[in-house]
Structures are given as structure tokens and as C-alpha cells.
Amino acid sequence: MSIVIVVLSILLAALLGYTGAMKVMHTTTAAGNAAHLGIGTRQSQLIGAAELAAVAGLLIGLAVRPLLVITTAAVIALMVGAVAYHLRAKDPLTAALPAAVTAAAAAATLALDIALS
């Protein structure tokens, strides 16, 4: 497995662990963001749980390739949804940029994994 895939997977896991924990714990920041985007508390916490599940999928996926493929695809879908919610809220593009960059990193991880297998 490529060192780039390993590094991207670990960075994605760290990011999703942080944001997922914030949503699950319903911190003030997460609550404010959810309210701004029109997302209820329970839905926000479920998104956070999905992000935390992705952490496990990304890390275990380093040893179990099919899990990495499935997890990166799921992260891409989750982040596309995040971008859509920001656009729906008429946020500036810069507000959607973190989700777009995360989706791009997951897509790069997926593409590299497929290309190198």
C-alpha cells in the first residue's frame, strides 16, 4: 500500500474523528452549525456517528482493502451532502470548502487505492 494512501487515510480519520465527536457531543459549535444548515439535533448526531464510523473504516481499511474502498466512497457521499447543505443555505463557497476538500481527499485516496491495486 502506498504511503500516500496511508497518510491520507490517517489525516481523514483525524479530521472526521474531530468533527464527528463534536456532532455526537452536540457542542455549541456543532449545534450552531446544524441550526444554520437546518439540521436537527438528532440528525446532526447521526451524521457525527457516521463520521466516527468512517474513522474506524479508514483505519481498519488500511489492512482490509475492501473496507477502505467502501469507506472512502461513503465519505465522498457524506461530504457531497455537506456541500449541498451549505449551498442550500446560500453560504459563501468558502463555507463549503472544507467539505469539498475532504471529499477531494477521500476521492484521491479511493482513486489511488484502485489504481495501485
Return d(Cα 81, Cα 85) in angstroms, integer: 6
pLDDT score for 117: 85
45-78 pLDDT, tens digit per residue, is 999 999 999 999 999 999 999 999 999 999 999 9
What confidence category does residue 1 fall into, taking pLDDT thresholds of 50, 70 and 90?
A: confident
Return d(Cα 108, Cα 42) in angstroms, integer: 31
The total number of structural domains in the chain stands at 1
pLDDT score for 73: 98
Find where cell 457525527 sits: 48
What confidence category does residue 102 fall into, taking pLDDT thresholds of 50, 70 and 90?
A: very high
Domain that holds residue 21: 3-116
2-33 pLDDT, tens digit per residue, is 999 999 999 999 999 999 999 999 999 999 99
Cβ-contact 57, 71 below 8 angstroms = yes
> pTM to 2 decimals?
0.94
Return d(Cα 102, Cα 97) in angstroms, integer: 8
The DSSP line for 32-52 is HHHHHHT--HHHHHHHHHHHH
pLDDT of 88 > 90? The answer is yes
Lookup: cell for 100: 469539498
